[in-house]
């Protein structure tokens, strides 16, 4: 940031549609400063540094509806994509000590019913029973 003095910072993992320097993310990026960013990921750190220098930041990611539309155009169903999202989350839960091996069915169902999937009609959503097959 100091060497190049950017006019805008693009943040990985944040949807572009969330706008310029969204307050929720700026607040999220401040939390790791407490322990000098020992456990911070790069996007939060970049957003924090941008905020400290009054540099605007935006996300560089498409929204879930955009991703699903593109993938469905390539022949994948909404259920296929939801299964991928769930599978992708399992190692994250394990790494963070949040994987509930005894009640994985409940954890998976909660994930599959997250608000981020609300744009998918109920009849096109993946259920955990379908995932197990």
Tokens of 30: 């401040």
| 51-96 pLDDT, tens digit each | 999 999 999 999 999 999 999 999 999 999 999 999 999 999 999 8
Work out the pLDDT band at 45, boundaries 50, 70, 90.
very high
Work out the pLDDT band at 133, boundaries 50, 70, 90.
confident
Judge contact between 79 and 129, C-beta under 8 A.
no
pTM for this model (two decimals)? 0.77
| Domain residue ranges of the chain, discontinuous segments joined by + | 9-61, 64-132
Q: Residue 82 class from Cβ within 10 Å (0-12 exposed, 13-18 middle, 19+ buried)? A: buried
Q: Indicate whether 31 pLDDT > 90.
A: no
């Amino acid at each position: 940031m100091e060497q190049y003095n950017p006019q805008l910072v693009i943040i990985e993992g944040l949807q572009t549609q969330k706008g310029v320097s969204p307050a929720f993310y700026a607040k999220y990026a401040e939390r790791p400063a407490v322990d000098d960013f020992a456990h911070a990921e790069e996007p939060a750190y970049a957003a924090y540094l941008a905020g400290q220098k009054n540099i605007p930041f935006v996300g560089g990611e498409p929204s879930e509806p955009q991703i699903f539309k593109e993938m469905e155009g390539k022949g994948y169903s909404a259920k296929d994509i939801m299964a991928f999202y769930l599978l992708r989350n399992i190692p994250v839960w394990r790494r963070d000590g949040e994987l509930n091996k005894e009640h994985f069915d409940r954890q998976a169902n909660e994930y599959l019913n997250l608000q981020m999937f609300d744009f998918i009609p109920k009849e096109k959503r993946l259920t955990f029973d379908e995932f197990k097959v």
